[in-house]
């Protein structure tokens, strides 16, 4: 038994952890997540902890660097290009880009690629327009959804927490993806960083912590590989 709960309103992929991502018309979901998502990350070369990643926590301006694949349809073979805040477009492996990040971080950094994706927890993040609107209402002003780096935004009157433990099917069953919804996404300081300026506003995280148990959106994991398209009908599958 299934029931329609909304439509896909936006899709985003983030080729490089903590950098701005790219909007998609079609996302290919494989067992590791959305193809090409979080495939690369910069690491703090001297950091031997379990969280060695160089992120916007250390360098807020990372969110002002926009990463995209040279051919969005072929992320396995395409190169990654990064548009810097000053408008230059550099290959991800360009030594100038690494040197720039090292200067900003104040320490050596290295670039790595992880085929299964560099995720903090689970590979797919979901939010609904209603869920986002509730956060905006509690905050008292509009919030750019890009702050939250969500993969799939669903036009729906429901909050994503209502789907916890359920499966969501996207588009036609012959090639549409299926995900298993899991836990609410605990949020961190990255939500405080403006995606246009890199400036921090701690009130954003305070709103999420005080009004929503520090959760925004819902994690999900692939249950059946397939496609997710803009405008796809989204169904809860019992």
DSSP characters for the chain? -EEEEEEEEEEEE-SBTTSB-EE-SEEEEETTEETTTT-EEEEETT--SS--B--TTT-GGGGGSEEEESSTT-TTTSPEEEE-TTS-EEETT-HHHHHHHHHHHTS-EEEEE-TT---SS-SEEEEEHHHHHHHHHHHTS---GGGG--SEEEE-SS-GGGGTT-EEEES-TTTB-EEEEEEEEE--GGGGB-TTT--B-HHHHHHHHHHHTTEEEEEEEEEE-EEEETT-EEEEE-
| Alpha carbon distance 68, 80 (integer Å) | 6
% the chain with pLDDT above 90: 97
For 86-102, how does the pLDDT look when each residue is reduced to its tens digit (9 = 90+)?
Answer: 999 999 999 999 999 99
- Residue 128 CA, distance from chain mean position: 14
- Average pLDDT, integer, range 53-74: 96
- Average pLDDT, integer, range 139-160: 98
**78: closest CA among 13, 32, 8?**
13
Q: For residue 172, is pLDDT > 90?
A: yes
Task: Supply the pLDDT for residue 37.
Answer: 98
Task: Supply the pLDDT for residue 84.
Answer: 96
Task: Supply the pLDDT for residue 235.
Answer: 98
CB atoms within 10 A of CB 182: 17
Q: Domain residues of the chain, as ranges?
A: 2-237
Residue 23 — pLDDT band, cuts 50, 70, 90?
very high
CB atoms within 10 A of CB 195: 16
Task: Supply the pLDDT for residue 131.
Answer: 98
Q: For residue 61, is pLDDT > 90?
A: yes
Residue 66: CB partners within 8 Å, gap ≥ 6? Answer: 19, 20, 21, 22, 82, 83
Find the Cα–Cα–Cα–Cα dihedral 95, 96, 98, 99, rounded to 10°: 110
Q: For residue 115, is pLDDT > 90?
A: no
Give the homologous superfamily in CATH for domain 2-237: PK beta-barrel domain-like (2.40.33.20)
- Average pLDDT, integer, range 148-161: 97
Q: For residue 1, is pLDDT > 80?
A: no
**34: closest CA among 60, 66, 72, 63?**
72
HSE-up (13 A, CA, CB side) for residue 26: 11
Task: Supply the pLDDT for residue 238.
Answer: 80
Q: For residue 55, is pLDDT > 80?
A: yes
Give the tokens for residue 238: 């019992």
**How many angstroms separate the Cα of 167 from the Cα of each of 79, 211, 229?**
33, 26, 17
Q: Which residues pair with 89 in a beta bridge?
A: 83
């Amino acid at each position: 038994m299934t029931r329609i709960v909304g439509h896909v309103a936006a899709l985003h992929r983030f080729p490089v952890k903590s950098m701005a991502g790219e909007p998609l018309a079609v996302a290919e979901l494989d067992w590791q997540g959305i193809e090409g998502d979080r495939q690369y990350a910069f690491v703090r070369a001297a950091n031997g902890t379990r969280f060695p990643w160089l992120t916007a926590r250390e360098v807020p301006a990372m969110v002002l660097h926009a990463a995209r694949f040279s051919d969005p349809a072929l992320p396995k073979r395409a190169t990654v290009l990064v548009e810097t805040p000053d408008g230059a477009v550099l290959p991800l492996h360009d030594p100038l880009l690494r040197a720039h990040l090292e200067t900003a971080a104040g320490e050596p950094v290295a670039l790595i690629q992880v085929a299964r994706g560099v995720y903090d927890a689970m590979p797919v993040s979901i939010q609904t327009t209603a869920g986002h609107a509730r956060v905006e209402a509690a905050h008292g002003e509009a919030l750019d959804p890009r702050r939250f780096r969500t993969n799939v935004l669903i036009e729906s009157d429901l909050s994503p927490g209502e789907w916890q433990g359920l499966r969501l099917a996207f588009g036609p069953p012959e090639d549409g993806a299926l995900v298993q919804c899991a836990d609410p996404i605990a949020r961190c300081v990255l939500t405080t960083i403006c995606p246009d300026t890199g400036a921090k506003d701690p009130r954003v995280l305070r709103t999420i912590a005080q009004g929503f148990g520090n959760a925004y959106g819902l994690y999900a994991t692939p249950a059946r590989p397939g496609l997710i398209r803009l405008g796809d009908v989204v169904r809860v599958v019992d």
